[in-house]
A and B are shown apart, each in its own frame.
Chain A
Amino acid sequence: MNKPLSRRDFLRIAATTAAASSIGALAVQPVAAQADAGAFSLAMVDWSDPVQTAFEETIIPRFLEENPGASVSINWTNWGRYNEEMTTAFASGVTPDVFQGGAVWAPQMARRNWAVPLNDFINADAEWDWADFPAGLQADVTIRGDIVAVPYRQDLRTLWYNKDMLAEAGIDAPPATWDEFLAAAQATTVRGDMGFEVEGYHFSDSSGNWQRDWQPFLMWLHMADGQFLSDDLTACELNSDQAVAALEWLVALVNEHEVTSYPGLEPQGDLNVLAGRNAAMQLSNADMERVINLYAPDEVESIYPTLPLTGAVQATHSWVNKFFVSSQTSDVAASWAFLRFLTRQDMLEVYSASNNNTPPRLSLLEADYMSDKHKVVLESAVYARTFPQHHNLIALFRPIAAELEQALSGLKAPADALADATAAIDEILADD
C-alpha cells in the first residue's frame, strides 16, 4: 500500500516547499526591538581593544551582577559604517535599545524622533547627578528643551607641541597667541629638497577624508571669534570678517609663511605626525597622549599640551559624543536604567581610562588615570565651543570642505571661497 516517493513527487514537494518558504519569507514584517527589562542591546561605535576589554570584563559584568537575570548584547562597529548601520536599523525597526552617537547626532536624532527625551528620568534621579556634567555638554544634548542624549566623552582639542624642538629653535615657552605661534612654527619648520621634513605646524593629514580640513579649520574659526551658523540656525556666517580672517591666516600659514604643507604630511601608521617628529605643533585631543605612550615612548618627555591659542579670542572646539535611548526600544524605563548605569561616575571612569578619553563628568577631573597632560586638555573645556544644533550639519559641512580645499591650494581667494561656501550652505538651509 505504501507507494514509494517517486522522483517527480519529491521534486514537486521540494519545489512547493521552496516556493511557500520564499513567499513566507517575503511576507515577514520587520521585527520591533525586542528588549525587555532583562535583555538589553547596545550599539558601540567607540571601538578599540581597550574599550572592548573594559566593557566585556568590567562594565557589563558589573551590570549583570547588579541586575541578576539581565542579559546584554553589544554590537561593535566603527565610524566608517556606523551611520549606515544605524540608518538602516531605524528604517527596518531593529535598533538597539541604547546606542552611541557622534558630535552632530543630537539634533539629527531629535528631528527624526529616533531618540527618547530623557528629561523626566533625569529630573527624577538626583542620585545620578546631571549637574556633574558641565553646562556646555548639557546644552549640546538639549534640543528645544528635550535632553535627547547623555555625553560619554568629550573630544577636546588643544595645542600640542614638541618642547625639545621648540627649545632647539630658541623658544622656551609654548605659544599662547597667534603671533607667538607663527614665530614658533617658522623657527621649527625644516624644508629639504623633496619638500617638508618637519612642519612647524601640522594642519591636516593627506588622508582621503573629506572632513580633514574642515575639522581643524573649525578651531581657527572659533579663535577668530567666528561662527558657522547664525544663532537662530537660519543663515551661514562663514562670510563674516572673522571667518575670512581665520581662513586668510591659514592660507598664509600654507602659502606665505610655508610652515605647513598642504595636503599635510602623512602619519606613519598609528604614529601621528607630531609623535613621529615630522611636526613641531598640532591641534589634537587627549588621544595624542595615548599614542605617544604606546607608540613613541621616547617622546613622552618631549610632547605636551598647552591651552588653546588666542586669536581674537581664546577658543577651541569640543566634539561631544553621547549615548541615546532608541525610540524603538520596547521598554524605555529599562533602557534608561541601562544608560544610567553606563554613564554613572564609576563606569564612565572605567570606560574613559581604558582609552584615555576625556570624561564628560566634572567629578572625574581628579580620577586616578587623569595625567597632568590630560588635565591641561581638560582645562581647555572652558574655551570650547560645540557644534550649532542644526539637524543637517553633515550636508552643511560639505560645501565648506570643498571650498577650503580651493582656498588652501591657492586656487581661490579666502573671501571668495567663503562667500561661495556661504551661498551653497544658505541654499541648503533654504531648501531644508
Chain B
Amino acid sequence: MESLSLTRRDSLYRLVNSQAFVALLFLAVPVLLLAALKIYPVFYNLYLSFTRYELFEPPRFVGMKNYNYVFSNTVTRQSIINTLLFTLEAVPIGTALALVVAKLLDQSIRGRVFLRTLYYLPVVSSVVVSAMIWRWIYSPQHGLLNYFLGVVGIPPQNWLNDPNLALVSLVIVTIWGSVGSNMVIFLAGLQDIPRDVVEAARVDGANPLQSFLLITVPLMRPVILFVVVTFTIGIFRNFGLIFMLTQGGPFNRTNTMVWEVYQNVFGYLRLGRGAAISVVMLVIVLILTLISFRVLRERQGA
C-alpha cells in the first residue's frame, strides 16, 4: 500500500513538475479570459436573440420574432443594405489604395520614413478627434472641402446631409483612417517578395506597372486576403464615425447595422432585437469572409 501511495505521489509530482503542466497553467489564464469575455457573450447573445429582454425583467422566449423583425422592418433592412454598400465601397478602394501607397513607399525615395509616418498618423488619432476634423472639412458653410470646390467654381455640397453624398462621405473618412494601418501590413508583406523575381521580370522587359500588377499583386494575395477580411470586420464594427457625424441620417442612408444594434439596445432597451441584428451581422461577415477566401485562394492556386 505504501509503495502504491508513493507511486501516486511520484506521478503527481512529475505531473505538477512537468513543463506541460506549467504551460497549461499559463494557457488557462487567456483561455478563461477568452471564454468569459468573448465566447460566452457570443453564445449569450445568440440566446438573447430569441428572447424579448428589456433589462428590468427576465428574458422571455419569443422564438424567431426578432429575426422576423430584422428582415421585415424597413429601417433594419435598410441598415443591412447600407452596411453592405459601405463595405463594397470602402474595402476594394481602401485596400487598393493602401497597397499602392505601400508599394510607392517601399521604394528608396527621399522622405520615405516621414511619408510613412504621415500616412500612419490617422491610425493613432482617436475616432472622436478625426470625426471633429472631418465635420469641419465637410461643413456646408464653413468647410474646407467646399472652399476648395468654390475655388474651382463648383457649388458647395451638403456632404453629410445630402442622402446621395452622406455614405460616400463616411467611406472617404473610413478609407482615410485605415490606409495607414493597411499600408503597414502591406509593407511587411512586400518585404517577403523575392527581389530576384521582380528583377527577372524587369530583365524580361516588364515595366513598373506590369511588374506591380503581374508580380507584386499575385504574390501579395495572402496579405490582401488578410487585409480584406480585417477591413471588412472593421467596417461592420464602425460605430464612432456614424455616432459623431451622421447618427444614421439623412434619410437613414448611413444607418448601418451596428448603429441599429446601438439604437435597439441603448435607445429602446430592446436587447433581443439588438442581439438578433448582431447575429445577422456575424453571419454576413462570415459569408463575406468565406467569399474573400474563395476568390483570393482560387486565384492563388490558379
Q: What is the interface of chain A, defined by CB distance below 8 A to chain B?
A: 8, 11-12, 15-16, 18-19, 22-23, 26, 80, 83-84, 87, 90-91, 111-114, 194-195, 206, 208-210, 263, 265-266, 268, 392, 394-395, 398, 402, 405-406, 409
Q: Which of A22, A84, A206 contacts B29 (CB 8 A)?
A: A22
Chosen A-B contacts, 28 in total, with CB atoms closer than 8 Å, are A8-B17, A8-B19, A8-B22, A11-B22, A15-B28, A18-B25, A18-B26, A19-B25, A19-B32, A23-B32, A26-B32, A80-B243, A83-B266, A90-B56, A91-B55, A208-B135, A208-B160, A210-B248, A210-B249, A263-B140, A263-B158, A266-B140, A266-B141, A394-B267, A394-B268, A395-B270, A405-B251, A406-B251
In chain B, positions 219-278 with a C-beta closer than 8 Å to chain A are: 243-252, 263, 266-270
Instruction: State whether A398 and B245 are in contact (beta carbons under 8 Å apart), knowing that A12-B22, A15-B26 are contacts in the complex.
Output: no
Is B301 on the interface with A (CB-CB < 8 A)?
no
Q: By the criterion CB–CB under 8 Å, are A112 and B252 in contact?
A: no
Q: Are A395 and B249 in contact (CB under 8 A)?
A: no
Q: Classify the interface of chain A: helix, strand, loop or mixed.
A: helix
| Cα(A409)–Cα(B246), bound, Å | 17
Pair B161/A15 contact, Cβ less than 8 Å: no
- Do B140 and A206 touch (CB < 8 A)? yes
Do A90 and B55 have beta carbons less than 8 Å apart?
Answer: yes
Q: Is B111 in contact with chain A by the CB < 8 A criterion?
A: no
Q: Which 8 A-B pairs have the closest CB atoms?
A: A15-B25, A112-B56, A395-B268, A208-B246, A263-B161, A19-B28, A15-B26, A210-B247
**Any A CB within 8 A of the CB of B16:** yes
- Encoded as 1 (CB less than 8 Å from any A CB) or 0, chain B from 63 to 93 comes to 0000000000001000000000000000000
Q: Does B14 contact A (CB under 8 A)?
A: no
A87 touches B269 (CB 8 A): yes
Given contacts A12-B16, A112-B55, A194-B155, contact A208 B249 (CB under 8 A): yes
Assuming A80-B243, A83-B267, A402-B251, what are 13 further A-B pairs, CB within 8 angstroms? A11-B22, A15-B25, A15-B29, A19-B28, A26-B36, A87-B269, A112-B55, A113-B56, A208-B246, A208-B249, A210-B248, A394-B267, A394-B268
Identity of the chain B residue whose Cβ is nearest the Cβ of A406 in the assembled complex: B251
Q: Is B142 an interface residue (CB 8 A)?
A: yes
CB proximity of A2 to chain B, nearest CB, Å: 19
Counting CB contacts under 8 A, is B49 at the interface? no
In the complex, A195 Cα to B141 Cα: how many Å? 10
Q: Which residues of B contact A112 (CB under 8 A)?
A: 54-56, 269
Q: Do the beta carbons of B25 and A12 come within 8 Å of each other?
A: yes
Given contacts A112-B55, A263-B158, A402-B75, contact A15 B247 (CB under 8 A): no
- Distance from B280 Cβ to chain A, minimum over Cβ atoms (Å): 19
Residues of B close to A208: CB separation below 8 A: 135, 160-161, 244-247, 249
Smallest Cβ-Cβ distance to B21: which chain A residue: A12
CB A214 to nearest CB in B, in angstroms, measures 11
List CB contacts (< 8 Å) of B173-224 with chain A.
none
Distance in angstroms between the alpha carbons of A266 and B135 in the assembled complex: 11
Which residues on the A side are within 8 Å of B29 (C-beta)? 15, 18-19, 22
Docked Cα-Cα span, A90 to B269, in Å, equals 12
Shortest CB distance A384–B (Å): 26
Tell me the minimal C-beta distance from B210 to chain A in angstroms.
45
Residue of B nearest to A394 (CB): B267
Q: List, in ascending order, chain A residues with CB within 8 A of B54's CB.
A: 112
A22 touching B251, Cβ below 8 Å: no
- In the complex, which residues 107-150 of chain B have their Cβ closer than 8 Å to any Cβ of chain A? 135, 139-142, 150
Chain B residues in 8 Å Cβ range of A210: 247-249
B17 to chain A, nearest CB (A): 7
Q: Are B250 and A405 in contact (CB under 8 A)?
A: yes
Q: Which of B32, B139, B245 has the most CB of A within 10 A?
A: B32
- Closest A residue to B249 by CB, please name it: A210
- For residue A268, which residue of chain B has the nearest CB? B142
B33 at the interface (CB under 8 A from A): yes
Check A114 against B56 for contact (C-beta < 8 Å). yes
**C-alpha spacing A392/B16, complex, angstroms:** 58
Q: Which residues of A contact B155 (CB under 8 A)?
A: 194
A30, B20: Cα distance in complex, Å: 35
Is B59's CB within 8 Å of the partner chain A?
no
Complex Cα–Cα for A395 and B265 (A): 11
State the CA gap A223–B252 with chains docked (Å).
28
Residues of B within 8 A of A26 (CB): 32, 36
Interface contact A87-B266, CB-CB below 8 Å: yes
* Shortest distance between the CB of B131 and any CB in chain A (Å): 9
A208-B249, A210-B247, A405-B250 given; A266·B142 CB < 8 A: yes
Distance from B32 Cβ to chain A, minimum over Cβ atoms (Å): 5
Cβ-closest chain B residue relative to A210? B247
| Identity of the chain A residue whose Cβ is nearest the Cβ of B65 in the assembled complex | A431
Q: Which of B19, B33, B139, B140 gathers most chain A CB within 10 Å?
A: B140
CB neighbours (8 Å) of A209 from chain B are 247
Q: Give complex CA distance A140, B19 in Å.
A: 68
Report how far A22 CA is from B155 CA in the complex, Å: 60
Question: How many whole Å from A24's CB to the nearest CB in chain B?
Answer: 11
Could you say which residues of chain A place their CB within 8 Å of the CB of B269?
87, 112
Say yes or no: A206-B267 contact (C-beta < 8 A), given A26-B32, A114-B56, A405-B250: no
Closest Cβ–Cβ distance, residue B41 to chain A (whole Å): 13
For A194, list chain B residues within 8 Å (CB).
150, 155-156
Interchain CB contact (< 8 A) of B55 among A15, A23, A87, A268: A87
Chain B CB within 10 A, most for which of A19, A83, A112, A114: A19
**How many whole Å from A332's CB to the nearest CB in chain B?**
18
What CA separation (Å) do A15 and B120 show in the bound complex?
Answer: 37
| Distance between Cα atoms of A209 and B249 in the complex (Å) | 8
B residues less than 8 Å from A16 (CB atoms): 25
Distance (Å) between the CB of A149 and the closest chain B CB?
A: 17
Q: Which residues of A contact B33 (CB under 8 A)?
A: 22
Minimal Cβ-Cβ distance residue in B for A15 = B25
Let me know if A22 and B32 touch, CB within 8 A. yes
Q: Taking the nearest CB of chain B, how far is it from the CB of A416, in angstroms?
A: 15
Complex formed: what's the CA distance from A15 to B31 in Å? 13
Q: How far is the CB of A115 from chain B (nearest CB, A)?
A: 11
| Least Cβ–Cβ distance between A267 and chain B, in angstroms | 10
